[in-house]
Amino acid sequence: MADINVSSLEREMASALEADRRYQRENDAKFRAIHQRVGTYEEFRDIVKASHIKALDREDIIGSSCQQPWNPVALVASGESPDGGGLGECHHPTSPQELAREWRQRKGRTLDQYKLLISLPKESLPHLLRAETSGTLIGDIIKVLNEHFEVRDVAQIEDILSNLSEYPRFSLSLLMLSKTEKSSLQDLFSKLQATVESDSDRLTQLKKTFK
């Protein structure tokens, strides 16, 4: 009778259990994606691929010291460390689909959504906000920027609006804005106009674009 290789059997059993757990995770993620009625196959695929990632608790998001400041000079002037105090690099969305997913995870927490927008690296905005950004997301972004507007974020907000205006179906998205979203847009431009930091020429062009 041949000897039984116990170690090999244990490895095979562990591998089979992990494969089963992975199947269950991905299967559950598929049902969640269908229930959420995702807009594209890419978004569906990303949800399934990220099924092994544990969702953050509310405290993890709100209490996090992870920041990606756009104006490190202002932080230095205020006595804060521009590198976030050496806490390590932040994770930022790397695709429009990932941004939309993180945005939905913060649904109902508009301040968290605002912080997410402000933390996006400037160089990533053309990719994140021009490619396959949904019209609904554009309206939500406008409301959040208006609700939590900070003078120190004027340059970032203008960059965000500028990149949104490059969205392929931007004109149609403007037409689809609700009355509340249009009112938020007017309020947001009024706040931008009132700041001394705002570039008047750029702001004038943005106002024309968003009419």
Query: Is the predicted pLDDT of residue 140 greater than 70, yes or no?
Result: yes
Give the pLDDT of residue 2: 57
Rounded to 10 degrees, what is the CA torsion of 182, 185, 191, 193? -110
Query: Is the predicted pLDDT of residue 110 greater than 70, yes or no?
Result: yes
Cα-Cα-Cα-Cα dihedral sign, residues 197, 156, 159, 85: positive
Determine the average pLDDT of the residues in 7-31. Answer: 78
Do residues 51 and 26 touch, judged by C-beta distance below 8 A?
A: yes
- The confidence band for 39, taking pLDDT boundaries of 50, 70 and 90, is low
What is the distance between the alpha carbons of residues 128 and 137, in angstroms, rounded to a whole number? 12
Do residues 148 and 114 touch, judged by C-beta distance below 8 A?
A: yes
In the chain, where the domains are located:
1-54, 58-209
pLDDT digits (tens, 9 = 90+) for 172-193: 888 888 999 999 999 999 999 8
What is the distance between the alpha carbons of residues 166 and 138, in angstroms, rounded to a whole number? 12
Share of the chain above pLDDT 70, in %: 64
Give the pLDDT of residue 51: 59
What residue type is assigned to position 203 of the chain? L
